[in-house]
Structure 1
Amino acid sequence: MALTIRERRLPQLHISLDLPSCAGAANFRAAPASTSAAAAARAGELRMSDFDRVAVLGRGNGGAVYKVVHRRTSAVYALKVLHGGVGGGDHGAAAATEADVMRRAASPHVVRCHSVVAAAAAATSCPGDVALLLELVDGGSLASVAARAGAFPEAAVAEVAAQALSGLACLHARRVVHRDIKPGNLLVSVDGEVKIADFGIAKVVPPRRGGEHRAAYEYEGTAAYMSPERFDSELHGDGADPFAADVWGLGVTVLELLMARYPLLPAGQKPSWAALMCAICFGELPPLPDGAASPELRAFLAACLHKDHTKRPSAAHLLTHQFVAGRNVAASKLALRRLVAGA
């Protein structure tokens, strides 16, 4: 279980939700969909009572994610429910903000958000509940795939990296920083399509004027995937590039998929805050056995996991890296599809 930090003063262990060409303008509109349920969602007409809950996809502090079916059309979605009264926050505003962040990037590698759905008077909802109606990604998270399949072959890792970088490049172009890139927040379809999910702590970073990047470094997220500059934001001040932290998270994710375990601590070591801080800020990358990774993959990991954020390439630049750009796309996608299918 990953260590998730909400406040630096009081580290706590939290459970994170496993949520099931950059062409979109930065406005609040629903992604295209063919069902009448999605059309209703665009008009803001849906309520939780319009859906039957089929399965629980994930639970966490203050909410849960369900597989749901729209009663009238039989269209299938994921419904991320934020429970009212938990944490004392304004969940309606939080849901609207998260939806807006997701809709800034009309990328095939970002989970689509169709609507913010209000609670209705039903036994399945509580006063104050609000939800996001999302596309359902049928293969689950990369964390769940890895738990079943073990270590990813390099070809599959290259496909994950390429698609995740495409989504990140689009988000970053729209000035959205995700802040919690990890295997549990990257979903994959049975067709091998990787999508970035769970924008609960994402931020829209304004153009730099003074210290306005500080909001991107609030001490929340999953500590195991935080970059050195996020762990010690006081040292770096407001000068750090907030988008570089997402690249670090992807680097840890790629290495974790390759090694079939969290890579920055010795196998079996408890991921305490102190252990993670030492490993991330001061530790060396774990050695990979000879033959376990190509020179291109090793160079890619070194670039993503450079401790100096000023020397970490952007997501857009990494799309041209030989490990990604030089992959055999058909073979890489096939390798990923086989993992998802359990072959």
Structure 2
Amino acid sequence: MAVIRSRRPLNLRLPLPEPSDRRPRFPLPLPLPPSAAAAAPPPPAGAISAADLEKLQVLGHGNGGTVYKVRHKHTAAVYALKVVHGDGDGDRRQLLREVSILRRTDSPHVVKCHGVLDLPGGDIAICMEYMDAGTLETLLKTGGGAAGSVVFSEQILAGICRQVLAGLDYLHSHKIIHRDLKPSNILVNHEMDVKISDFGVSKIMQKTLDPCNSYVGTCAYMSPERFDPDTYGSNYDGYAGDIWSLGLTLLELYMGHFPYLAPGQRPDWATLMCAICFGEPPRLPETTSENFRSFIECCLQKDSSKRWTAKQLLSHPFVSRR
């Protein structure tokens, strides 16, 4: 599934291909080994209460709360329960924003919400579908490799990318901007089904010209126009920022480390912001295919108006080939 690639930077800038109308024909990536956890069927509306759920293990921490793997005591269905503690107003607002967005979505490439629960002590929680392979960040860190990291092959990344693009195209068509796309916010199961998650800082565009350049999300994955909209945001509508984040995510998965930093280097945020705004976008090594290099360049155009949309990228040869 994974191969180690050369990490030499590529300085050659390739011409951007014209978008194609061809439908994606590239096969899905090979599955990971199956795990013991079974996918949970959707429960009947209103059927889940806090008393029905048994905590099995902690899946992660962050944003003022904890994510648990839980099991329904009566149906044995397994879910992920995202709990936010009652003493953090900002965290509660993010959770409620996420609930508002998840209730609007119905896509196989966006994580499903099965209900919102009020817990003792003022805590609130979202009950979501459980993805048994964790996140793409999890696979990157635990998949093996010389330094404890897995480097995904182009074929695997093309299948992942096609699913993420389908999710972004769905969200953008419903005027939803994610604003924090990164490996830790993309869930995956043992069949390599990929779903976008964590909508705590996302935005629903109410008007065509609604501004969306606020300083939220993880700044390492922010596009240049998020820092400097006057310079890089001509015709900026907000959606292009998700495409930049996708390009960096693919580079990180392939290279095994964040593309603006050397392996193991700790980020200095001021230096990183300057690199994003004033430096050249990171490139793939010359050992990669022309289609892959071209796709990344279509994502990492510093001028947001030149970046391809999710719909255009779905027709790019990197993801549409068989």
Q: Place the TM-score, normalised by the shorter chain, in its bin.
A: 0.7 to 0.9
Which is worse superposed, 172-181 or 237-246?
237-246
CA shift, 1:90, in A, is 7.5
Q: How does 1:233-272 map to 2 (within 5 A)?
A: 233=229, 235=231, 239-272=235-268
Q: Which of 135, 160, 168 is 2:129 aligned to?
A: 135
CA shift, 1:61, in A, is 3.2
Say whether the 8 Å CA contact 2:232–2:303 is kept in structure 1: no
Paired residue for 1:305?
A: 300
Paired residue for 1:182?
A: 182
Q: Distance in 1 between matches of 2:107 and 2:190?
A: 18
Q: Which of 279, 282, 285 is 1:283 aligned to?
A: 279
Counterpart check, 1:193 vs 2:193: yes
- In the alignment, structure 1 segments of 5+ residues that lack a partner are 1-32, 121-126, 329-343
Give a deviation string over 1:44-92, Cα, whole Å, max 9, x none.
x633232111011110131110000111221110000011112x3482x
TM, length-normalised to structure 2? 0.81
SS of 1:317's equivalent? helix
- In the alignment, structure 2 segments of 5+ residues that lack a partner are 1-39, 144-149
User: Letter of the aligned partner of 1:81 in structure 2?
Assistant: V
Paired residue for 1:62?
A: 64
- % identical aligned pairs: 45
Counterpart check, 1:225 vs 2:221: yes
Residues 174, 287 of structure 1: CA spacing in aligned structure 2 closer, same or farther, 3 A cutoff?
closer
Paired residue for 2:34?
A: none
Residues 254, 206 of structure 1: CA spacing in aligned structure 2 closer, same or farther, 3 A cutoff?
same
User: Letter of the aligned partner of 2:58 in structure 1?
Assistant: V
Residues 158, 62 of structure 1: CA spacing in aligned structure 2 closer, same or farther, 3 A cutoff?
same
SS of 2:280's equivalent? coil
CA shift, 1:287, in A, is 4.4
TM, length-normalised to structure 1? 0.76
Question: Which aligned runs of 4 or more in structure 1 are off by greater than 6 angstroms?
Answer: none
SS of 1:116's equivalent? strand
User: Letter of the aligned partner of 1:279 in structure 2?
Assistant: A
Q: Distance in 2 between matches of 1:166 and 1:275?
A: 33
Say whether the 8 Å CA contact 1:47–1:119 is kept in structure 2: no
User: Letter of the aligned partner of 2:196 in structure 1?
Assistant: I
Q: Distance in 1 between matches of 2:230 and 2:100?
A: 29
Say whether the 8 Å CA contact 2:79–2:127 is kept in structure 1: yes
User: Letter of the aligned partner of 1:159 in structure 2?
Assistant: G
Paired residue for 1:160?
A: 160
Count of matched residue pairs: 277
The alignment yields a C-alpha RMSD, in angstroms, of 1.9
Residues 323, 46 of structure 1: CA spacing in aligned structure 2 closer, same or farther, 3 A cutoff?
same
Residues 192, 64 of structure 1: CA spacing in aligned structure 2 closer, same or farther, 3 A cutoff?
same
Say whether the 8 Å CA contact 1:95–1:116 is kept in structure 2: no
